[in-house]
Structure 1
Amino acid sequence: MPIVLLAAACLFLGLFPVDLEGVATMREAGRLAEGRRYTAALHAYDGAVERCPGCPEPWLRQGAIYAAQGRYGEAWEAYLAGIRRGGYGDEAREGLARLVIAQGLEGQAIGPLRDLLARRPGRGDLWIALGEAYLAVRDQAAAKEAFSRALELDLSPGQRQSVHAQLGRMCVQDDDECALAHFELVERGPDPTLARHAARMAAALRETALGSEPALARAKLGEALLWWGDLALARRQFQAAVDLEPAYVDGHAYLGHVLSVLGEDESAVWHLERAIDLEPGYTLPRYLLGMHYVRRKWWITGREILEGAHELDPDDPAICAAVADTYLRVEPPDYATAEQWLHAAVDRAPDDPRFHLLLAHFYVDAMVDPSRRGVAVAQVAVGLAPESAEAQETLGWAYHLAGDPERSLASLERARDLRPQGARIHYRLGEVYRALGQEDLARRSYQQALDLDWYGPNGEAAWRAMGE
């Protein structure tokens, strides 16, 4: 009798036995996805689908993975499969909103995100996504409101830092005091790169507040925005600088550079040549004009201008490196002359790992002399910057090409630890594991490279390697 009553209670209350193995499968799939082992996660979700064909959750989670890999068609199919199984809830709506954002259709995500936030106003990450969507459609007021709402919630330190950065950049346009307050908070955040950019912005804003040299202050603010990568705002500051002081050389030079990057060639050349006319002995505008023509693939013209800048300042390593690059761009590449210029750059900055890395890449990636000079130069780069994933990867690959897989493995594993999302590092690790006869580890590394760069060159190389 008690068993009958218990069964009746289960039927009445919906207390059916839990599929513990299915729950474990979903958790394992989620763990794999979090570690960006996407293919393994997709297979695990396939197992969950087999256990529960009518459950929408595995399909929805697969949609999120496909979206993260840029496989948008497959993402749509997975989301629709989940919806057909009754999964048109908040998880599906959020996934679809993030999917259209990833495809550059931010305006279409605003309505769904607002609907989600009406039901879940405590989701700070959704307020951030909404703010970014408004920014994409240039609705500054709505973006500020969304970001401000996010700051009222319990965000992670990284999220809070990025929101203050967004608000600071928006305030730069009309309220320097507001911008400074936000950037001072960004300086104290966990992302060191973001903090450094914010420190530049804060210093420039403080100088602007002094008001003693307004053109110089605007130009410094433009430089800080240029470092940040905000070309539109940088352009406004440099334009303001030359409007305040029409003979301001740096203002014209940097404005010309920004216009060049934005593709406004005629105006770019005018400002760069104006800067040269104002101060013929100054190398910066000549360097930027040369780089403008290099950017347009006018290698010879760019090189001639850069060599002119070198004559004015023969000790500048950046000019030497830029000239070297022009010799590598032509067909066929002039490796001998490029090597001389790269050595000139290293000689002028012996303690700067960036120029040693350029020379190491020349020897290793161009297969000029990876096993001897490539290893030697990469060792110097690692000695100068031991925490650089790029330096460790370059040294590891040089060792591999030199036929030393054990040393190669140590450097590449260090590079992977420093940059776990580096697809090329994982591909190269696969090559080294294969050389060592460790096929299981090789295939796992190839798969990770493919997961991280599905449509890119490293994923393609990994796919070919897995087929061998």
Structure 2
Amino acid sequence: MEIENGQQVPPSGAGRQQVPAAAETAPGSAPGIVPEGPAKPSRRRRLSRIVKRALAVAVVAGVVTGGVVMLVPWLPGQRDEAPLPAPGPGPVARAATALGAGVPASTADLTALIEDRVTHLRTNPKDEESWAVLGAAYVEQGRQTADAAYFPKAEKALYTSLKRKPEKNVQALAGLATLAYARHDFRAAREWGEQAVELAPKRWTTYPVLIDAYRRLGDIEAAGKALETMSGLSTSGSSGAAVKIAAGQVYRDRGWREDAAAALADATVLARTPAQEAVSLHRSGELAWERGYPAQALRYYEAALRADPGHHASLAGKGRALAALGRTSAALSAYRSAIAKQPAPEYALELGELYESLNDEESAGAQYEALGALVRNEGEGGVNDELTLGLFEADHGDPAEAVRRLQAEWERHGSAQAEDALGWALHRAGDDEEALKHAIKAMDQGQISALFAYHRGEIERALGRYGAARRHLQQALRINPHFSPLLVPRAEAALAELGEPALTAPPK
């Protein structure tokens, strides 16, 4: 494995309490002024009284404000200085604790942890636990930065851990499940996750990725059962927030929007770290967006960014909401910032379609080219972006190519998103009868989606089923009248063309 140089720098302690020296005037230094009263005490005695008075004030202030002041005996040789407070946990400890507790860690802390484990493994290459920790840290770093180059490193570290300990290596198995999910290989994520859960059924940190894998495979029943199991293990601390976040996603997929919103609100309250709070706030924002409330979604995204300025997904969400509110310049700026910090293909597609809706074909084309480059880069790290690429080809490229890609993706994963995307690609390629079958199945899975309803309405319109088309196009705009800057005007134009239903007497 490629080992990079790096040294862990111990965290610096808090600054010493400095006691200002009393100003002294040497006798005779100020002509015409004669000192009065008793002789001045020595500098050391005078400082001791100052420090004692300062400590007394601090104790009183601590009692008044509800704080706690701990007086530590002075050590020999320490003149008139207060003792140093004990340092808090450093970045390595914070990142390791976060990964072990199933909560997100900051990018800076992850970098410190990676450097620490790499250094340790140079002299301790048989430490299977450190290999697993290193692999998990690489996965999280790659996920947060959208840099798929971390994923092959993660894979190598995790397989090395398994080689060192082939049996009952739950930590490595769970890491491989998380890696597979980050690469959008949901079948592999399910398989690794199920192996980890079988070995350690009470290890709650494996369940979130397994639940997400079930969701992305369209197996809502299995996701619900795993959620019930996870909920029964623990509902306090970090696990409590994780349970609520997972519940919010499962409820959303079932169309239980109010339950999803309540679960995510609870997750925000239970969050133990800023990064975990940002995740719950962001998902609340996504839910508000899907429900057609862009102003509310914007508030959630901004709150997520205040909790964790590095939560780049909320920058893209902010761009989406700002565009819906007519604040186009700010929306473009937010999207560009999100792509610069976390270059994900789906953000490039959204920004390209925003430019296209503004009739800026040159800028839209640049984003679509960037999307292709991003997909290629992620592919080198083993990431599957077929769903995003298929939707791009269906709307902006070669519909036949979209069908080929999305047919394979649907056979691999079978989620509602893959079902809907395949139906849309078939429609764009001219096979409307087959397209409608997939569009109906996508909506039947329970998720309430304006995009699904729009796609189905357009397919029905192409088939001459005007009543059903009108109903689903209206439904799309009712669910979220801002669901796409490019497609909303098309939905409105299609409804105008369809007109109102004819008022005819029922047949006798």
TM-score by length of 2: 0.43
- Higher helix content, 1 or 2: 1
TM-score, normalising length: structure 1 = 0.46
* Higher relative contact order (CA closer than 8 Å, sequence separation 6+): 2
